A and B are shown apart, each in its own frame.
Chain A
């Protein structure tokens, strides 16, 4: 308990007096009188936490001129210093928020309205050497626009913050932040670090420019911009092939970003890993503003070796109180509600450094309750303090002046009573040696039973409350309620109807605390008589103390943590097994073997090892009795859009060869699991069909539970999506929105020709530059590395293979001839519904075709599509496959392939090849997968019936001899998840504070992507998409 209750009147007076004379920087002329108030202060009798883990008891902290002069461990206050008694209080370093937009202007309005209401902008306004993309503001130095803002500062100060790192949070490269003190002074005096980190995010923010409108587009833009900065460093001041190299302020400012580093905001664990991989390419050190989803991929996050900034906006629980609410709630959200507050503890346990930010909190005063929640979830107080002091100081570039209590550091302090990390309160915050009082250091305590003697009469006051005092006066047997109670720091006054000193009526009274448990008061009677009295109370019990410690009781989780952390997630990657499959009907998909009855397969080290009859079981092998079952190779889908985050199309510019689906693989997509349950083991994730030359594709194996990187099948050679026809010429756009070249199939041809020609010119410049002499290089700029053109060159060099979305015969022929002109082979036409019309031309060229089994009539260019297409192509010698382009069809490609048996009598063996070996060949991975052959990967499916039949069902799906889907296990998972969901709902219902927290705090459902799903992921606008569009 506090030992002295005398208030520091001086402190109060100082606070009130200071604003009268505004302090000024050295260069400001003084108007009126000079302010030479003493700044020499000693905070005595304090417990001083100089930095996390370092505490000095009963010491004196000496402050002068806004800085810490010294710490007197002997608790002696120097002569001449104003002394403030902080006994019973703890002094912490002032807190630092390393991610803020304090003190800088907000962006102009960002609303764009519905997509059809505004003409698309393809270019931005050029001014002052800005970047070509309006989402890049790297040239902005926010110190130039920083100004103190006492109103906004207050939100921070109330929580104990004394400094922030700040920039306008708008766009992809947001400019260079400034680290500012929150003191209410002119900007010149509050700048702690004028050139702090660059800020950034994937969100293009207020930019009205089309590009980028997808997450992969943002990543590509970051990649190109960082590369451009490297180029600019060497090129500026020299001659390019088109004259002098342009002045570009944005690139100039990014040149030193490898030293200055970035603070980059992400929205979930997956995007953190994505950002990390692009910034690592350029050795840019990045601190990530996290999402509190990091616990779900802790190992991968830890492996980035990054520091994080964590918002404390834990989500409100999903609503579960209504009798039907279970219909709308997802297990993943319930799990996250339970575990988000434990994210910091989980990161801490993994030794990942992080700081906390107020950012994203709707109300600043949610900060401490949430931080305490994090502590309840197991975060140590020491780590919590580090997250408020030393770590953000490091991130904000002010480790030499803030974040610690040490001589020479700024006198930015937090004075608290009680344990801040469980229940304490912040009494005052010191900014540059000046106190901002939040609550009185000493506040009289009136709660309890006070025995007093008034005019020789023993009375009792039974009082309750802290802010408002209520209670009763007991005189003998009669009790009266106190009315009109009012209190300040030291006294409480009230009126009460009572008979005292022989006078009945309404008495007015005032009570003051004189020391712990002793009181002095005055009572004014109905007759105006004043009676002084004294009183005392029983010593308070230890009850309040124990209440504090209760708050740190450890939280127990009822949710499981799986990979991915959603329903049907796995505990970890399934183990690789050596297997002996016995007595199956084996569909090898190999022409020579065909279908083998009553056959055994041995699988060793992840590969098919032997295929034959009555094989002996080697020791240690797991035996699967497949009598009556069928085994096929894993199904391969040439055309899939599952497992893609935030945009399948970079639907902005006509050529976007630089964007990569591989940058946005979403390993958490439930369709990965559902497709496994349909026997699919590999898929080529394609960019959409909104532009003639779309983005780079990514081949994955459907390793449910793995990270995005682990899903990628690296042995697959690079590929890319092209598209022709109605989608790329924007046929469904209203005419006033159609300004992009091309708008006809004629223009598609010329645009592609122009792209390839530009790529060749680019190569020529590159080669020419290589041949230059040293002296010529001194004045010649190196050609700017261009990811878009480099990708096109990879196609021309036959290192990257084209999968072209196509329908009608004219465009197919066009692309064949164009490819021949540029001397490469078109690998696969996808969709290719009129492939049957030019099958011999395709075969002659060497192009494959990957078709829908029976889709047609959903748009004009598919009016001639026929279900005999695959047969006709195949008969003419075209390598033919059947694809899904759909998260539904991807689950049943077996019966889709069977339709060629139905409609045109294809053999069953060949039909199965269309979803196994043939797509493997089209993806150029048939040396690894696609058939059951010795030495190939053990990717296979066990079916209960003829695999092309309606009546077939998948029993098990294996990838590299790991069992990723198993019907029996699925049944168990179903039951378990129901139980877990119920338990979590019970927990929500039992928690009175469950409804408090951030709205929209969960990952949002991704749409079912189709080829032609066009939408701007940053502007949240969707273009129309109808069923059956592809």
Chain B
């Protein structure tokens, strides 16, 4: 084991005594050569016994027996598994600390239509949750405002920053919409009649359409110089009309998805479908329409009573089979760390292992416009690399030993390890 590994080990020991003292990694000072690992490149297959060189925060070479540059730190990763950092879409990391304590929540703005709010603005980089997420190999996350209808704009952050600016990978990448409910429910807490439910559904749908029409009118008026003043809501949606911003549509039901396909086509939006529980019912149509899908229920219970017990588990395989471009997400905050395992679960139900890995690395990067820098192990991309002793997607394999984000070594210590270490010492 080389110097670096020792340093890491020593650091975590000393750090463990002091809570909160988990310091963001220093910018990469010298070349780092990871020697002899198994590389899951995502874009170029699995490479056994291969070296990976990072220089100035970027991957500068991948190959067998790379030459050791002058002044490089060399880490022997023989027998280890190397992955690009996992990218978690659809999270509220940094926006929630303790769900049941309202003062610690910054995820839901009031009002049905709030496209003007941005997730990164309230992001707390010192959240105790974040280091526990990194610990499982997740390097980046999409921070998404929650709410009713148009909830706000999301940003992609790397998970080891001093501030949100320091953590920014790409800010305000798109606007999020929760598609209005469709269908009727007969659950006993639904007191409205089917007729009333249908009416309410239609009304919510109308509200959404109206918002897009307003936003478009604002855009057109602005282009023509005909505005009376500035409206922050519609300003936030301008990018949707010139293609510089993406619409993230959260929709699970087949009917919602179809409506979303129609509406986005009508407005010509660049869009991504999030959630997508029913995507398996219409996989061919989604593939034909080139809809990008972020499947958000990898551990989901069946949506409907009569669906197969493993419907959600096997949906990624069905999407892959139909040729849908898809990612897998694990919406939430503290539980987002299970994302790699959830992808592994999809493998048990028919998904190809490489496709599963792609669904939590490159696909999210592409869907959020950051694939130039992250999402795969490729020369020229960020030196964002996970080193695990075993299979990252399997709980009996995963053991993340090193995590680099942009070539910076990330402290894997966290609240859980600290408490673990502390109470191991209790007599």
Q: Do A and B bind each other?
A: yes
Say yes or no: is B416 at the interface (Cβ < 8 Å to chain A).
yes
Q: Mark A557-575, 1 if CB is under 8 A from B, else 0.
A: 0000000001110000000
Say yes or no: is B162 at the interface (Cβ < 8 Å to chain A).
no
Chain A interface mostly helix, strand, loop or mixed?
A: loop
Chain A residues in 8 Å Cβ range of B278: 327
Say yes or no: is A732 at the interface (Cβ < 8 Å to chain B).
yes
Say yes or no: is B221 at the interface (Cβ < 8 Å to chain A).
no
Chain B residues in 8 Å Cβ range of A856: 334, 416
Chain B residues in 8 Å Cβ range of A1007: 187-189
Closest 10 CB pairs of A and B: A950-B344, A859-B100, A1004-B188, A898-B395, A857-B334, A567-B306, A866-B416, A868-B420, A1005-B187, A677-B309
Q: Is the CB of A950 within 8 A of B420?
A: no
Say yes or no: is A604 at the interface (Cβ < 8 Å to chain B).
no
Expressed in whole angstroms, the Cα–Cα distance for A319 and B426 within the complex equals: 63
Q: How far is the CB of A895 from chain B (nearest CB, A)?
A: 6
Q: How far is the CB of B354 from chain A (nearest CB, A)?
A: 14
Cβ 8 A contact of B419, one of A864, A887, A945, A1029: A864
Q: How far is the CB of B238 from chain A (nearest CB, A)?
A: 33
Q: Is the CB of B193 within 8 A of A328?
A: no
Query: With A327-B253, A951-B347 given, is the CB distance from A872 to B420 under 8 Å?
Result: yes
> Which of B336-392 touch A at CB < 8 Å?
337-338, 341, 344-345, 347-349, 391
Could you pull out 23 A-B pairs where Cβ atoms are within 8 angstroms?
A327-B304, A328-B183, A567-B306, A677-B309, A836-B419, A855-B335, A856-B416, A857-B128, A858-B99, A864-B419, A866-B415, A868-B417, A888-B301, A892-B299, A899-B395, A949-B348, A949-B394, A949-B396, A953-B348, A970-B308, A974-B308, A1005-B186, A1027-B99
Chain B residues in 8 Å Cβ range of A970: 308-309
Chain A residues in 8 Å Cβ range of B394: 949-951
Q: Is the CB of A327 within 8 A of B393?
A: no
> Which of A179-200 touch B at CB < 8 Å?
none
Chain A residues in 8 Å Cβ range of B395: 895, 898-899, 901-902, 948-950
Say yes or no: is A674 at the interface (Cβ < 8 Å to chain B).
yes
Most buried by A among B191, B194, B253, B394: B394
Interface residues of B (CB under 8 A from A): 97-101, 128-129, 182-189, 191, 193-194, 253-255, 278, 299-302, 304-306, 308-310, 333-335, 337-338, 341, 344-345, 347-349, 391, 393-399, 415-417, 419-420, 423-424, 426-427
Expressed in whole angstroms, the Cα–Cα distance for A839 and B420 within the complex equals: 12
Q: Mark A838-866, 1 if CB is under 8 A from B, else 0.
A: 01100000000000001111111001101
Chain A residues in 8 Å Cβ range of B338: 854
Chain A residues in 8 Å Cβ range of B182: 324
Query: With A327-B183, A949-B396 given, is the CB distance from A977 to B306 under 8 Å?
Result: yes
Q: Is the CB of A324 within 8 A of B254?
A: yes
Q: Is the CB of A857 within 8 A of B309?
A: no
Expressed in whole angstroms, the Cα–Cα distance for A339 and B322 within the complex equals: 39
Q: Is the CB of B99 within 8 A of A1026?
A: yes
Chain B residues in 8 Å Cβ range of A866: 415-416, 419-420
Expressed in whole angstroms, the Cα–Cα distance for A893 and B114 within the complex equals: 40
Chain B residues in 8 Å Cβ range of A1020: 188-189, 191
Say yes or no: is A837 at the interface (Cβ < 8 Å to chain B).
yes
Most buried by A among B193, B305, B345: B305
Q: Is the CB of B398 within 8 A of A952?
A: no
Q: Is the CB of A840 within 8 A of B347?
A: no
Q: How far is the CB of A60 from chain B (nearest CB, A)?
A: 53
Q: Mark A882-918, 1 if CB is under 8 A from B, else 0.
A: 0000011001100100110111100010000000000
Cβ 8 A contact of A857, one of B129, B184, B396, B397: B129
Chain B residues in 8 Å Cβ range of A1006: 188
Q: Is the CB of B100 within 8 A of A732?
A: yes
Say yes or no: is A1002 at the interface (Cβ < 8 Å to chain B).
yes
Chain B residues in 8 Å Cβ range of A1029: 99-100
Expressed in whole angstroms, the Cα–Cα distance for A836 and B97 within the complex equals: 22
Q: Is the CB of B306 within 8 A of A331?
A: yes
Chain A residues in 8 Å Cβ range of B349: 953
Query: With A860-B98, A1026-B99 given, is the CB distance from A952 to B348 under 8 Å?
Result: yes
Expressed in whole angstroms, the Cα–Cα distance for A1028 and B98 within the complex equals: 11
Expressed in whole angstroms, the Cα–Cα distance for A328 and B303 within the complex equals: 10
Expressed in whole angstroms, the Cα–Cα distance for A469 and B397 within the complex equals: 86
Additional A-B contacts beyond A950-B391, A951-B348, A970-B309 (15; CB < 8 A)? A324-B254, A328-B184, A567-B305, A732-B100, A836-B420, A840-B426, A854-B335, A868-B417, A902-B399, A903-B416, A951-B347, A974-B308, A1000-B186, A1005-B186, A1022-B189
Q: How far is the CB of B233 from chain A (nearest CB, A)?
A: 28
| Chain A interfacial residues counted at CB < 8 A | 75
Expressed in whole angstroms, the Cα–Cα distance for A41 and B304 within the complex equals: 64
Query: With A863-B98, A1005-B187 given, is the CB distance from A837 to B305 under 8 Å?
Result: no
Chain B residues in 8 Å Cβ range of A1015: 189
Q: Is the CB of B304 within 8 A of A872?
A: no
Q: How far is the CB of A566 from chain B (nearest CB, A)?
A: 7
Expressed in whole angstroms, the Cα–Cα distance for A888 and B297 within the complex equals: 11
Q: How far is the CB of B178 from chain A (nearest CB, A)?
A: 15
Interface residues of A (CB under 8 A from B): 319, 324, 327-328, 330-333, 566-568, 670, 673-674, 677-678, 726, 731-732, 836-837, 839-840, 854-860, 863-864, 866-868, 872, 887-888, 891-892, 895, 898-899, 901-904, 908, 945-946, 948-953, 970, 974, 977, 981, 999-1000, 1002, 1004-1008, 1015, 1020, 1022, 1026-1029
Chain B residues in 8 Å Cβ range of A864: 419
Chain A residues in 8 Å Cβ range of B419: 836, 864, 866
Query: With A854-B338, A1022-B189 given, is the CB distance from A902 to B398 under 8 Å?
Result: yes
Chain B residues in 8 Å Cβ range of A904: 420
Q: Is the CB of A872 within 8 A of B396?
A: no
Expressed in whole angstroms, the Cα–Cα distance for A566 and B302 within the complex equals: 15
Q: How far is the CB of A738 from chain B (nearest CB, A)?
A: 15
Q: How far is the CB of A672 from chain B (nearest CB, A)?
A: 11
Q: How far is the CB of A162 from chain B (nearest CB, A)?
A: 36
Expressed in whole angstroms, the Cα–Cα distance for A901 and B396 within the complex equals: 6
Expressed in whole angstroms, the Cα–Cα distance for A319 and B416 within the complex equals: 52
Q: How far is the CB of B409 from chain A (nearest CB, A)?
A: 21
Q: Is the CB of A670 within 8 A of B416?
A: no
Expressed in whole angstroms, the Cα–Cα distance for A51 and B349 within the complex equals: 64
Q: Is the CB of A946 within 8 A of B396?
A: yes
Chain A residues in 8 Å Cβ range of B344: 949-951
Q: Is the CB of A887 within 8 A of B194?
A: no
Expressed in whole angstroms, the Cα–Cα distance for A953 and B348 within the complex equals: 6
Q: Is the CB of A1005 within 8 A of B305?
A: yes
Query: With A327-B255, A566-B305, A1028-B99 given, is the CB distance from A945 to B348 under 8 Å?
Result: yes
Chain B residues in 8 Å Cβ range of A946: 396
Expressed in whole angstroms, the Cα–Cα distance for A872 and B421 within the complex equals: 10
Q: How far is the CB of B333 from chain A (nearest CB, A)?
A: 7
Q: How far is the CB of B12 from chain A (nearest CB, A)?
A: 14
Q: How far is the CB of B203 from chain A (nearest CB, A)?
A: 18
Q: Is the CB of B306 within 8 A of A981?
A: yes
Residue of B nearest to A674 (CB): B309
Chain A residues in 8 Å Cβ range of B97: 857
Expressed in whole angstroms, the Cα–Cα distance for A726 and B100 within the complex equals: 10
Chain B residues in 8 Å Cβ range of A868: 416-417, 420
Q: How far is the CB of A77 from chain B (nearest CB, A)?
A: 56
Q: How far is the CB of A635 from chain B (nearest CB, A)?
A: 15
Q: Is the CB of A859 within 8 A of B99?
A: yes
Residue of A nearest to B302 (CB): A674
Chain B residues in 8 Å Cβ range of A331: 305-306
Most buried by B among A330, A888, A901, A981: A901
Expressed in whole angstroms, the Cα–Cα distance for A888 and B309 within the complex equals: 10
Q: How far is the CB of B280 from chain A (nearest CB, A)?
A: 13
Expressed in whole angstroms, the Cα–Cα distance for A946 and B423 within the complex equals: 32
Q: Is the CB of B306 within 8 A of A330?
A: yes
Q: How far is the CB of B251 from chain A (nearest CB, A)?
A: 13
Expressed in whole angstroms, the Cα–Cα distance for A277 and B309 within the complex equals: 33
Most buried by B among A328, A673, A898: A328
Chain B residues in 8 Å Cβ range of A1005: 185-188, 305
